[in-house]
């Protein structure tokens, strides 16, 4: 096995273990491999070890790699900040977007989604650290945003994404995810089935609080270049 294959297996084992500890169904959590800053040959290594979902944060870099990897059956997720002038290419070249935090961006993605592709899967990024400078929908605005985004024709609103402030203890790591999970459940919308929670440092806590997608970069590919 290659180094990446070994790390991939280790992370998948950790995910299965965390699911069991949280008394959640096996395979209820999916691994998104965050490949930003990593070259295409590293992505191929993970692909050959079985990984199919990859996350990218920088559009130009992602488009270059998508071009190089056009013959692989990869599902691409956009997870980075989105400026208005980037929405067209994101709508054209990704299956998922985790980082939608404004109605204007969601509307543009819907308008610009090519009609021959299935609806774009979208998660709303929620600011659960309550810091005015951080990007993300405020929790108090979430219900309204969901109402509006749900009505866009070429988007499938799937759920929420969060990047909490780093926290030390397991309890502190779980707390913001708990709050957001409960807030979404309270809306009673079964179509919101995706909780994009957790990265290398807090994957276990995220799975304990309902994550269905964990976004892992460093643990899989090492420090970023
Ligand atoms: C880079 C990034 C990740 C991966 O973080 P690691 O700590 O390297 O696992 C996850 N989510 C988002 C939104 C990112 O930008």
**What average pLDDT does the structure give for the chain?**
96
| CA atoms of 222 and 38, how far apart (whole Å) | 9
Give the closest residue to 109 by CA, choosing from 153, 60, 162, 64.
Answer: 153
**DSSP 8-state class, residue 217:** S
Question: Among 20, 80, 49, which Cα is nearest to 204's?
Answer: 20
Total count of residues recorded for the chain = 225
The token pair at 151 is 């009505």
DSSP label at residue 81: -
If one residue of 46, 55, 162 were mutated to test the ligand 1 pocket, choosing by the most ligand atoms within 8 A of its CB, it would be: 55
Q: What percent of the chain has pLDDT over 90?
A: 95
CA of residue 25 to ligand 1 center, whole Å? 24
Tokens of 78: 């956009």
Task: Specify the residue for token string 């309890």.
Answer: 171
Give me ligand 1 centre to Cα 199, in Å: 6
* For the chain, domain boundaries: 3-221
Atom number of ligand 1 nearest to Cα 161: 13
168-190, pLDDT tens digit by residue?
999 999 999 999 999 999 999 99
Range 3-221 has CATH code 2.30.30.140: no
pLDDT at 216 over 80: yes
Give 218 Cα–ligand 1 centroid separation in angstroms: 8
Residue 196 has pLDDT above 80, yes or no: yes
The percent of residues in the chain predicted with pLDDT above 70, rounded, is 98
């Amino acid at each position: 096995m290659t180094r990446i294959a070994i790390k991939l297996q280790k992370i998948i084992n950790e995910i299965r273990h965390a699911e069991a500890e949280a008394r959640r169904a096996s395979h209820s959590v999916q691994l998104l491999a965050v490949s930003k800053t990593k070259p295409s040959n590293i992505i191929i290594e993970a692909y050959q070890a079985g990984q199919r979902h990859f996350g990218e944060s920088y559009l130009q870099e992602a488009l270059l790699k998508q071009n190089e990897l056009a013959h692989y059956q990869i599902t691409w997720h956009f997870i980075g900040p989105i400026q208005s002038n980037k929405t067209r290419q994101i709508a054209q070249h990704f299956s998922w977007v985790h980082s939608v935090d404004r109605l204007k961006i969601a509307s543009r993605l819907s308008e610009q989604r090519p009609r021959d592709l299935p609806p774009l899967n979208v998660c709303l990024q929620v600011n659960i650290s309550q810091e005015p400078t951080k990007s993300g929908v405020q929790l108090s605005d979430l219900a309204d945003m969901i109402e509006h985004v749900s009505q866009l024709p070429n988007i499938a609103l799937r759920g929420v994404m969060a990047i909490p402030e780093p926290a030390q203890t397991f309890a502190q790591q779980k707390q913001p995810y708990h709050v957001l999970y409960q807030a979404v459940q309270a809306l009673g919308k079964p179509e919101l089935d995706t909780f994009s929670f957790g990265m290398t440092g807090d994957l276990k806590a995220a799975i304990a609080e309902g994550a269905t997608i964990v976004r892992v970069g460093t643990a899989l590919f090492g420090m970023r270049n």
